[in-house]
């Protein structure tokens, strides 16, 4: 049975990638993986959720107006706000990037609702999360790592996140695993073994990527008269000038 996503105790999200085990390596993996998808984004306003997303280096970007949103102060964060209470109007953002943030939120459902509320129709959401089925989860079971990043957060599987996004009328366009690692700098031979296993079983990647597009389906009210009009056969009498057959009496 799945535990509820909402939790009473709030965990502070990391402010920098170097606070996470192998953080600089993970940061490079995320930048390399999402670079191609970010280049195909177009629009006017692009938001990065969390300090980790703010630190990502994405030079080839078509959207000029970019800003980061986070609760805590950060040198690269322009808007300070709660993820559950965004100060943006409805349908005001063209694209949103969130990396390694949902794991540390107290109410992940509400965070995704806020993102969906702020996105325009056909707006893109790029989400990067930690994979709970990766072998790297075993490294966090060591007592010294229990309160360290990223293991101190709450992992959500890709299937669960996809289910949440589908309920919010998102169309999933990309879903994939990447970054196979044990999140430790030791055991070099074991790291090579993890990479070889990843080629056969991609689900062992420590991170996963989801690209989703917000869909809106308009509801048009059909009145009773319009419904009768649609059901009634379209019978039209031919003009007298076009009637070539003679009538018999």
Q: Residue 7's pLDDT is what?
A: 86
d(CA 96, CA 106): 20
Rg (CA), the chain: 25
- Among residues 201, 182, 179, the alpha carbon closest in space to that of 29 is found at 179
Q: Select the more confidently predicted residue: 144 or 114.
A: 114
* Number of C-beta neighbours around residue 229 at 10 A: 11
Domain 17-221 is in which class? alpha beta
- Among residues 107, 117, 109, 95, the alpha carbon closest in space to that of 49 is found at 95
Q: Summarize pLDDT for 186-216 with one digit per residue, the tens.
A: 667 788 888 999 999 999 999 999 999 999 8
Residues 6 or more apart in contact with residue 227 via CB below 8 angstroms:
none
d(CA 23, CA 29): 10
Q: Summarize pLDDT for 82-134 with one digit per residue, the tens.
A: 999 999 999 999 999 999 999 999 999 999 999 999 999 999 999 999 999 99
Q: Residue 221's pLDDT is what?
A: 61
Domain ranges of the chain: 17-221
pTM attached to this predicted model: 0.85
The residues that bridge with 98 in the sheet, in sequence order, are 49, 127
Averaged pLDDT for residues 37-56: 95
- 195: which 2 tokens? 């990479």
* Number of C-beta neighbours around residue 122 at 10 A: 12
- 115: which 2 tokens? 């993102």
Backbone angles phi, psi at 166, to 5 degrees: -65, -40
Whether the ω angle into residue 150 lies within 30 degrees of 0, i.e. cis, is yes
Q: Residue 59's pLDDT is what?
A: 85
| Angle between the N-to-C axes of helices 108-118 and 158-167, in degrees from 0 to 180, rounded to the nearest 10 | 50
The residues that bridge with 119 in the sheet, in sequence order, are 93
């Amino acid at each position: 049975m799945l535990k509820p996503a909402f939790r009473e105790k709030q965990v502070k999200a990391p402010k920098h990638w170097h606070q996470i085990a192998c953080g600089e390596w993970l940061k490079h993996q995320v930048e390399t993986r999402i670079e191609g998808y970010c280049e195909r984004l177009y629009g006017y306003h692009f938001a990065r959720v969390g300090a980790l997303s703010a630190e990502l280096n994405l030079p080839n970007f078509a959207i000029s107006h970019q800003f980061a949103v986070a609760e805590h102060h950060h040198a690269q964060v322009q808007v300070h706000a709660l993820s559950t209470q965004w100060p943006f109007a409805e349908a005001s953002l063209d694209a949103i990037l969130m990396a390694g943030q949902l794991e540390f939120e107290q109410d992940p459902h509400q965070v995704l609702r806020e993102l969906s509320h702020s996105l325009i129709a056909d707006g893109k959401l790029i989400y990067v999360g930690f994979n709970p089925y990766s072998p790297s989860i075993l490294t966090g079971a060591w007592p010294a790592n229990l309160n360290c990043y990223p293991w101190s957060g709450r992992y959500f599987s890709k299937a669960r996140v996809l289910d949440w996004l589908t309920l919010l009328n998102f169309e999933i366009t990309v879903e994939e695993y990447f970054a196979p690692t044990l999140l430790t700098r030791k055991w070099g031979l074991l790291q090579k073994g993890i990479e070889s296993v990843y080629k056969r079983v991609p689900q062992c990647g420590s991170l996963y990527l989801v690209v989703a597009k917000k869909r809106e389906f308009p509801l048009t009210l059909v009145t009773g008269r319009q419904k009768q009009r649609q059901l009634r056969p379209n019978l039209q009498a031919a003009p007298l000038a076009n009637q070539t057959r003679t009538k018999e009496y």
